[in-house]
Structure 1
Amino acid sequence: MPKDSINQLSQEELIQGIKENERSVMSSLYIEVFPKVKSYIIQNNGDEDQAKDIFQEAFLVAWQKVKAEEFLPQNSTAMQGFLFQVSKNKWLDWLRSSRFKKESSLGAISIEVADAEKEFLLDERLSMLDRAFQQLGESCQELLKLFYFKKMSLDKLAQSFGWTPKTAKNNKYRCMESLRKIINS
């Protein structure tokens, strides 16, 4: 082929070159599309060796479709887009496969253990906080529930309890200090 780049070939010339197994066309197609496929696979939990394997399989599918005249170009980059899409689909199939799940299950198990440990520690802290909260007097419990859980402002708390806003602020502070002392003892 006299043209040096795949971009200089029409889709018809590209298809004809593939049908005739022209080395320059096949090589140009590889050089044009493989970097995009490799980038996609690496961004989606893969590595370069996997990208090479997937691209090889996709290239074979594309070559077979062209040989069987089952591929009809729709635009000026149809073959490149088709090859990328086949590669992408093959990669997604591999990710869904049991082989991938087996290879990644050890990593998932360690993540699950770490998550379970975090959840256990959080449950333990919440339980400790609840026990400490139950040791507070009723008025402190009510004040803290209204402020933190019901999101009641200090002004509304003051009205509710018949206090000044400054007294509400001081009482909230004293209740929090009592809670901290219980937790730290």
Structure 2
Amino acid sequence: MYYFDELIVSEIKKKNEVALRELYKTHYPMIVNLIRSNNGTEEEAKDIYQEAVIAFYEKVQQPEFILTCKIKTYLYAVCRRLWLKRLAEKKRYHGNIQETETFLGIEEEMNAIEDNEQRFIRMRESLASLGEPCRGILEDFYMHDLSMEAIRDKFGYTNADNAKNQKYKCLQRLKKLFFATYKEDLP
């Protein structure tokens, strides 16, 4: 187990509310992402996550409780199961959910999620090191959904095609930065 997980479990056993809040805060974004990417809303994600955290809290209070995986994996599996049940109730999921069903591959799925999180961190770092005006152009286009005309006006290009051409060049620079960083992380 990781040190953070050991500390959280130990503090939750002592009914430490600060530890419970930290646990809640740490894994909440992952669950929002899970629910929203599977036909849910942030409000539904909040409900599901609260149920899972309460279930985890109650399990930890049991004297025989032993955590055999990461807290993150445990919460993800519980939330996924609760969400599939809720979708089945709403007739939005047509699979067969049985009480004895286990989610094989949760560890693999969690590893993929952690890999994606690392890629997002590298992308954010690459974008930050890109410099202006490239960073601004890419953020405006991809994150703020500005049109090429709006970008043309904001950055002073003569026409939208010139702005589009600059965006393409910036994107190529970003890719080079990202993959240069990525290669450094490979064994």
TM-score by length of 1: 0.45
Higher helix share: 1
